[in-house]
Amino acid sequence: MQRPKICACNRSPRGMFSKLLVANRGEIALRVMRTAKEMGIATVAVYSEADRDSLHVRFADEAYLLGPAASYLNTERVLEAAKRSGAQAVHPGYGFLAENAAFARAIIEAGLTWVGPHPDAIEGMGDKVSARQTMAAAGVPIVPGGTEAIKDIAGVQTAAKRYGLPLALKAAGGGGGKGLKIAHTADELETAFTTAKREASAYFKNDTIYAERYLENPKHIELQILADKHGTVLHVGERDCSLQRRHQKLWEETPPAIAEKTRAAMRTAGIKAARAINYDSVGTIECLVKGDDFYFLEMNTRIQVEHTVSEMVSGLDLIREQLLVAAGERLGCDQEAIVFRGHSIEARINAEDPAADFRPAPGTITRYREPAGLGVRVDSAAFEGYTISADYDSLIAKLIVWAPDRDQARARLRRAIDEFQIEGVPTTLGILRALIDEPAVVRADYGTATLERFARSFGESSDAPRALTTTHSTSSEPIRVEINDRLYQVRVLDSPMAKRFASPVASARTIASSDGNDVISPMHGIVVELGVKERDKVLAGQMVAVIEAMKMMNEVRAHKDGVVSKVHASLGSSVEAQAPLVTLTQRESE
What are the domain boundaries of the chain? 19-115, 144-213, 220-330, 346-509, 510-585
pLDDT tens, 416-448? 999 999 999 999 999 999 999 999 999 999 999
The dotted CATH code for 19-115 is: 3.40.50.20
Per cent of the chain over pLDDT 90 is 67
pLDDT at 588 over 70: no
Q: Do domains 19-115 and 220-330 have the same CATH topology?
A: no
Res 89 pLDDT > 80: yes
Per-residue confidence (pLDDT) for residue 408, from 0 to 100: 98
Characterize the bridge pairing of strands 248-254 and 343-350.
antiparallel
- Backbone phi and psi for residue 357, each to the nearest 5 degrees, phi listed first: 60, 40
pLDDT at 461 over 80: no
Instruction: Strand 89-91: give its sheet, edge to edge.
Output: 62-67, 42-48, 19-22, 89-91, 113-114
**Whole-angstrom Cα distance, residue 532 to residue 517?**
15
| Per-residue model confidence (pLDDT) at position 410 | 98
In the three-class reduction of DSSP (H, G, I as helix; E, B as strand; rest coil), residue 363 is classed as strand
Range of lowest pLDDT (158-162, 361-365, 484-488): 484-488
Please tell me which residue, 411 or 137, carries the higher pLDDT value: 411
- pLDDT at position 346 is 98
Query: Which of 360, 501, 508 lies closest to 428 in space, CA to CA?
Result: 360
Long-range CB pairs of 539-547 (<8 Å, 24+ gap) are 544/519, 544/581, 544/582, 545/519, 545/521, 545/569, 545/581, 545/582, 546/198, 547/521, 547/522, 547/523, 547/575
Give the pLDDT mean for 346-357. Answer: 93
pLDDT of 348 reads 98
Distances (CA, A) of 121 to 126, 136, 230: 8, 16, 15
Q: Would the pTM count as exceeding 0.85?
A: no
Residue type at 229 in one-letter notation: K
Lowest mean pLDDT: which of 133-147, 450-464, 466-480, 522-536?
466-480
Tell me if 362 sits within 8 A of 425, measured CB to CB: yes
Say whether pLDDT at 466 is over 70: no
Task: Please state, rounded to an integer, the average pLDDT across all residues of the chain.
Answer: 88
Residue 10 is predicted with a pLDDT of: 54
Confidence of residue 335 (pLDDT cuts 50, 70, 90): very high
Could you tell me the fold of the domain covering 510-585?
OB fold (Dihydrolipoamide Acetyltransferase, E2P) (2.40.50)
Does the pLDDT value for residue 74 go beyond 50? yes
Q: What is the pLDDT of residues 231-267, one digit of tens each?
A: 999 999 999 999 999 889 999 999 999 999 999 999 9
Per-residue model confidence (pLDDT) at position 367: 97
Residue 255 makes CB contacts below 8 A (sequence gap 6+) with 237, 238, 263, 313, 340, 343
pLDDT, position 4: 38
- The whole-angstrom separation of Cα 48 and Cα 9 is 35
Q: What is the SS3 assignment for 386? A: coil
Mean per-residue pLDDT, 108-124: 97
* pLDDT of residue 146 exceeding 90: no
Architecture of domain 346-509: 2-Layer Sandwich (3.30)
Is the pLDDT assigned to residue 52 strictly greater than 80? yes
Residue 508 scores a pLDDT above 50: no
Mean pLDDT of 474-490: 65
Select, from the ranges 186-200, 284-298, 462-476, 548-562, the one with the highest average predicted confidence (pLDDT): 284-298
Query: Predicted confidence band at 493 (pLDDT cuts at 50, 70, 90)?
Result: low
Does the 144-213 domain belong in CATH 3.40.50.300? Answer: no
pLDDT of residue 83: 97
Report residue 37's pLDDT band, with 50, 70 and 90 as the boundaries: very high
Q: Rounded CA gap, 33 and 319, in Å? A: 9
**CB–CB of 251/346 below 8 Å?**
yes
- Provide mean pLDDT across the span 286-295: 96
What residues contact 437, with CB distance under 8 A and at least 6 apart? none
pLDDT of residue 486: 62
CATH pick for 220-330 out of 1.10.3720.10, 3.30.930.10, 3.40.50.1820, 3.30.470.20: 3.30.470.20
Q: What is the mean pLDDT of residues 267-275?
A: 96
Q: What is the pLDDT of residue 482?
A: 67
On the question of pLDDT at 472 being above 50, the answer is no
Diameter over CA atoms, the chain: 91
